[in-house]
Amino acid sequence: MNHFKYKNAVGITAMHAYLDDFRYKKHAHQEYAMGVTLRGLQSYHLGGTHHLSHTSGVMLFNPEETHDGQSYDAQGLEYIMLYIKPAMLREALGRTTNVKFTTPIIYNPRVSDRIIKLWQAIFYDHSEAECHERFVDLIDQFPRQAISSSSRADNAKTKLAIEMIKQHYNEKLNLEQLSQALEMSKYQFIRFFKKQTGLTPHQYYINYKVERAKQIIETYKDVYWAIAECNFVDLTHLNKCFKYCYGVTAYQFMSKLR
């Protein structure tokens, strides 16, 4: 049985999932994500590399890192995740520039314990003050070698393409315009973009629309506003795209938020 539950507090989205046969398609998030495998073995690809997270493994994802995910075997999988906005993580770390997780999985009881405690505070409606305190406690327990300054300079053409897609996410994807801006043919651009990001331009475009819809739903609790703002055809279209990334439909996600 596949089961997903979400709650949000102090700007952090917490998720609890049981997976049997559900498979996430390739997608990426705008937030940092960290989670703990509670039961089973989690199998996923990140940056073209296959990873396995065993029980108690702490999974770490940087913003816009393309990944998929599923249970490794028929025994199923249970895990939790926290999705944290970049500005919030930078503030907690006392950084003014972007940071990145340097490794996809760590096995550290102090960190996994703090993730679970913060997740519990969000899921069980603890006060905002306690949620903030548990977040700080989590960050303070992170081994510093697992977090570094993000020194990778984005490829200028990739950055331009991403900015153009984000600026026009509520319009029809225009491959002609994108490829001309990068001085490539459409086919050269598709191959180039996929090599750089792990997603085709259309996959990235849909993924970003879903991320924007999620932000609107979290803020305004209005799924139809998200449909209109992000230019989805209808609720069925949004729900289908949303489920690929989050395991639940947009309407189910909204109903689970406090």
Residue 171 burial (CB count, 10 A): 10
pLDDT at position 152 over 60: no
Q: Are both 11 and 35 inside the same structural domain?
A: yes
**What are φ and ψ of residue 207, in 5° steps?**
-60, -45
Q: Is 176 exposed, middle or buried (0-12, 13-18, 19+ CB in 10 A)?
A: exposed
Of the candidates 77, 26, 25, the one whose C-alpha atom is nearest the C-alpha of residue 52 is 77
Q: Are both 60 and 187 inside the same structural domain?
A: no
Q: Are both 124 and 56 inside the same structural domain?
A: yes
Joined tokens for residue 87? 């500005």
pLDDT in tens, 170-204: 999 999 999 999 999 999 999 999 999 989 999 99
For residues 186 and 192, the answer to whether their CB atoms sit within 8 Å is no
Q: Which of 149, 164, 187 is the last residue of a domain?
A: 149
pLDDT in tens, 71-112: 888 888 999 999 999 999 999 998 888 899 999 999 999 999
Query: How many domains is the chain built from?
Result: 2
Q: Are both 65 and 125 inside the same structural domain?
A: yes
Q: Are both 167 and 222 inside the same structural domain?
A: yes
Q: Are both 137 and 186 inside the same structural domain?
A: no
Catalogue the E-assigned strands of 72-131: 77-84, 99-101, 105-106
Q: Are both 66 and 129 inside the same structural domain?
A: yes
pLDDT in tens, 214-254: 999 999 999 999 999 999 999 999 999 999 888 899 999 99
Q: Which of 127, 149, 171 is the last residue of a domain?
A: 149
Q: Are both 50 and 115 inside the same structural domain?
A: yes
Q: Are both 135 and 179 inside the same structural domain?
A: no
pLDDT in tens, 6-30: 999 999 999 999 988 888 888 999 9
Q: Which of 149, 172, 200 is the last residue of a domain?
A: 149
Q: Are both 135 and 247 inside the same structural domain?
A: no
Of the candidates 218, 213, 219, 217, the one whose C-alpha atom is nearest the C-alpha of residue 242 is 213
CATH value at residue 17? 2.60.120.280
Q: Are both 65 and 134 inside the same structural domain?
A: yes
Q: Are both 24 and 97 inside the same structural domain?
A: yes
Range of the domain at 169: 156-256
